Structure 1
Amino acid sequence: MAKGDKQLVLKPLDDRVVLEPTEAEEKTAGGILLPDTAKQKPQQGKVIAVGPGKLTDKGTRTVLAVKVGDTVLFGKYSGSDVEVNGKEYKIVRESEILGKLN
């Protein structure tokens, strides 16, 4: 790893997923610029890391439906916001992910 590179030191557990939320829209569909206070919380993000899967009663792990690099939609108030190395991330359970974008 080069001197300037920062590697994510956050590893999710079980069926949790680490997301990098996309920036809130700065303009409306009609082209009106929005001030910071009027911007909606982002509900879309890129998957940065995934956990090993939820442990079943039989001792096996379930396979997650998302992988690193996927762009996903999540609920407005789902997950937990965390800051690592000065960067904002969101940790959600796989069940809180509403869908994947192609």
Structure 2
Amino acid sequence: MSTILKSAKSIVPLMDRVLVQRVKAQAKTASGLYLPEKNVEKLNQAQVLAVGPGFTDSNGNKVTPQVKVGDQVLIPQFGGSAIKLSGDEEVILFRDSEILAKINDA
């Protein structure tokens, strides 16, 4: 069953899930040439759209996600649960532990 949602705001992650959207790669080269969309490489960089509240481990300790809404993160090339949105947009749900790194603005 395939469901297309209207927007990412209708998705509320549970437990330690993190909702991200990939950053779009430049479709224009340094010399000004435009690349076809199918030739544009997918980046491993994403922006965090929503974060679940965390979970309780087997010892009863509350484990909260290490990222927050608005963070720029590195995600694995494969994995996560892709969700199609209307207008050919896509968001991905990852577990907090699957996110590779947080990108700090320097």
**TM-score normalised over the length of structure 1:** 0.78
Q: Identity over aligned residues, as a percent? A: 40
Corresponding residue for 1:88? 90
Alpha carbons of structure 1 residues 62 and 38: separation in structure 2 relative to 1, 3 Å: same
2:82 is the alignment partner of 1:74: no
Corresponding residue for 2:22? 21
Corresponding residue for 2:9? 8
Runs of 5+ unmatched residues, structure 1? 1-5
User: Could you tell which deviates more after superposition, 63-72 or 35-44?
Assistant: 35-44
Query: Is contact 1:44-1:71 (8 Å) kept?
Result: yes
**Shift, 1:32, TM fit:** 5.0
When the two chains are superposed, the root-mean-square deviation of aligned CA atoms in Å is 2.2
**Shift, 1:18, TM fit:** 0.3
2: CA distance between counterparts of 1:7 and 1:77?
A: 20
2: CA distance between counterparts of 1:101 and 1:83?
A: 25
SS of equivalent to 1:100? strand
**TM-score normalised over the length of structure 2:** 0.75
Give every structure 1 segment of 4 or more consecutive aligned residues whose post-TM-superposition deviation is greater than 2 Å: 27-34, 58-61, 83-87
